[in-house]
Amino acid sequence: MKAWLHSFPDLPDTVASPADLARLELESALPGTPCTLEHVPAMGESYRVEKTAAGYTVSGGDSGLLYGAYALITRILSGESVPPVLASAPKYGLRMVDCWDNPDGTIERGYSGRSLFFEGNRLVYDPARMRELGRLLASVGLNVLCINNVNVHFPGQLLLEDMLPEAAALADIFRPFGIRLMFSIDFSQPMRHGIPTADPLDSAVQAWWKETAARVWTAIPDLAGFLVKADSEGRPGPFTYNRNHAEGANMLAEAVKPYGGIIVWRCFVYNCRQDWRDRTVDRPKAAFEHYAWLDGQFADNVILQIKHGPFDFQVREPVSPLLLAMKHTNLAMELQLAQEYTGHQIDLYTMIPMWRELFAEMPADNIMSIAAVSNLGRDANYTGHPLAAVNLFTYGLLAWDPDTDAEASVSRWARLTYDFTPEQHRCLVSLLLSTRRTYEKYTAPLGIGWMVNPHDHYGPNPSGYEYDLWGTYHKADRNAVGIDRTASGTGYLEQYSADLQEKYGDPATCPDLYLLFYHRLPYSFVMKDGRTLIQRIYDDHFEGLEETKALAEAIAALPFPEPDRAEIFRRMELQLRDAREWCDIINTFFHRLSGVPDTHGRVIYD
């Protein structure tokens, strides 16, 4: 068993149900502690653990018993005290992991090896690893697994056709872990079957989806639903037929409704063929413009899945205005565990500090589900970088309870994963919690984002997207940098409530780390702490590099067991190189533009 459950014994392939698994796990993890299970179907996924004279009583629905068992086991194994009553219910009903796995075995934005589910355009998997994976996900309360890429290219459609028997067998494997499968679908799939259109208002299309849903749910009665990326980055969708996205999503929703299925509809729609010369378009405005006016028009079993920020998983983005706007629509927030823009699971980047910031700005009740793009792959440790597992672990805890404390959850993961002295443990937790700010410091400054190498998104390239089609520009010139997104600029900020407009609209009150997201500022702009903008850019980058050097030294001093140790060290060397490139290139880029020397005389290459 890998990752934070490495001390757990292998599971038999005979586990019948979550309750059965709960019993097994308690017996093997807490052998001297008698635990009684009380199945209370009405409790569903909730659980209540009560201390008894000799052990514990765990009550809950079928899955609730399992979650209660893991809650108890992980607390005890990580040395935390167990309160007399430990009771909990998940905040969000669907706690989803979205895999971007392609049928050919590759993973879009995958940094942990090849797909766990696909190879050679077939659905093939190792049942033992599936059980390991099911256990990892269940142990942190995750309950929906979408196994294929939202960009559904042929033969991805065959999940609903030829591959369905294998998919049903996979669903059987995950069922005892309380995990339901989900499939990404191709909106134009009816056209593979002689129907000349995919128009959602066409009766033949509607009939095809209904027949398909009947067939699919017959094979997998508890399938969670379909995930849809429509009219986005070249994918087909309702716009082709002059239909809006409510019409598109609701048609699918009606087809899956008899089976309790849901339609998760991604809101990642923007003009990805933008002309860089065109100042009238501002990409972050796109999702709100496409969807906000449709609030209230989506069927009950549609969930709009909205990326946490208005761009695309940058290190720092404000909360998407769409997540704050649609009060009469089921919403899910989409996070990204895969480190697409955040170091490819080479650079250390612990995400929960960022997630906590999101929830600080967005009421947890605004959404009713949560999803995260997977960082999983076929690597032995599942996440490529052994320490990247902390993101999957803490995501599970956050998805269950958005008030989850960053430090406590990282600490629990670390205790379960490594057998360190208290001092070593504190050191590791503290390092992990610092990595997001460190990464942010040495990459694109102050919320500007996007200064990455195009396509693969690893490493610095200050103007890599500057003249491209993707709508992600910084417009840096010899005097100033950034896009004015206030009312005097693109008006993006007007998509927010008055109080947020006030907070972010004035450079004098806007938090520093969001300054260049919202404002175009001269290099001479004076920050709240008295430094100029250009000096702040230099300082952050030199600090980011120095912090990375210190991180590497501290990491080197920790007694990681093999094979983690070698893997961590190898990647740390690459991160050091990456941080140096970022620091020097960003500083040089801005020095060449501004001509302003560093106040402290540090080396900036000309």
> Which spans of this chain sit near a second copy (rule: CB under 8 A)?
276-277, 460-464, 467, 475-479, 581, 584-585, 588, 591-595, 605-606
DSSP 107: B
Q: How far is the CB of 578 from a second copy (least distance, A)?
A: 13
* Least distance from a second copy to the Cβ atom of residue 605, Å: 4
At a CB cut-off of 8 Å and minimum separation 6, what does 85 contact? 48, 49, 50, 51
* Distance of alpha carbon 137 from alpha carbon 56, whole angstroms: 23
Q: Of 431 and 516, which CB lies nearer to a second copy in the complex structure?
A: 516
Closest distance between a second copy and the C-beta of residue 466, in Å?
A: 9
Which two three-digit tokens encode residue 582? 């970022």
Give the nearest distance from C-beta 496 to a second copy in angstroms. Answer: 27
In this complex, which beta carbon is closest to a second copy, that of residue 31 or of residue 605? Answer: 605
**Active site annotation includes 233:** yes
Residue number with CB closer to a second copy (91 or 541): 541
d(CA 75, CA 432): 20
Residue with tokens 């990456």: 578
Grouping H, G, I as helix, E, B as strand and the rest as coil, residue 480 is strand
Catalytic annotation on 512?
no
Considering beta carbons, is residue 150 or 534 the nearer one to a second copy?
534
Taking the least distance from each CB to a second copy, the nearer of 262 and 476 is 476
- Give the bridge partners for 449, in sequence order: none
Min dist. Cβ of residue 597 to a second copy (A): 13
Nearer to a second copy, 195 or 596 (CB): 596
312 classed as catalytic: yes
Q: Element (H or E) spanning 544, and its range?
A: helix 533-556
Neighbours of 281 (CB within 10 A): 14
What separation in angstroms does the CA of 367 have from each of 169, 341, 551, 590? 32, 25, 36, 40
- Using alpha carbons only, give the angle 447, 574, 389 rounded to the nearest 5 degrees: 75
| Least distance in angstroms from the C-beta of 444 to a second copy | 14
| Selected catalytic residue, list 45, 199, 312, 540 | 312
The one catalytic residue in 233, 275, 361, 403 is 233
**Considering the complex, what minimum distance in angstroms separates the CB of residue 461 from a second copy?**
7
Residue where the block lists tokens 């038999």: 12
What residues contact residue 139 under an 8 Å CB cut-off, 6+ apart?
Answer: 4, 5, 70, 74, 396
3-state secondary structure of 465: coil
Residue 435 CA from chain centroid, whole number = 17
Assign 488 to helix, strand or coil: coil
CA distance 115 to 105: 5
Decide: 555 and 431 in contact? Cβ < 8 Å: yes
Q: Catalytic: which of 45, 186, 199, 340?
A: 340
**Maximum CA pair distance of the chain?**
73
Please identify, using beta-carbon distances, which residue of 600 and 605 lies nearer to a second copy: 605
Give dist(CA 384, CA 345) in Å, integer: 7
CB of 350 to a second copy, least distance (A): 28
Q: What is the DSSP string of 521-533?
A: EETTPBPTTS-BH
In this complex, which beta carbon is closest to a second copy, that of residue 137 or of residue 585? 585
532 close to 526: Cβ distance less than 8 angstroms: yes
Distance of CA 239 to the CA centre of its chain: 27
Active site members: 233, 312, 340
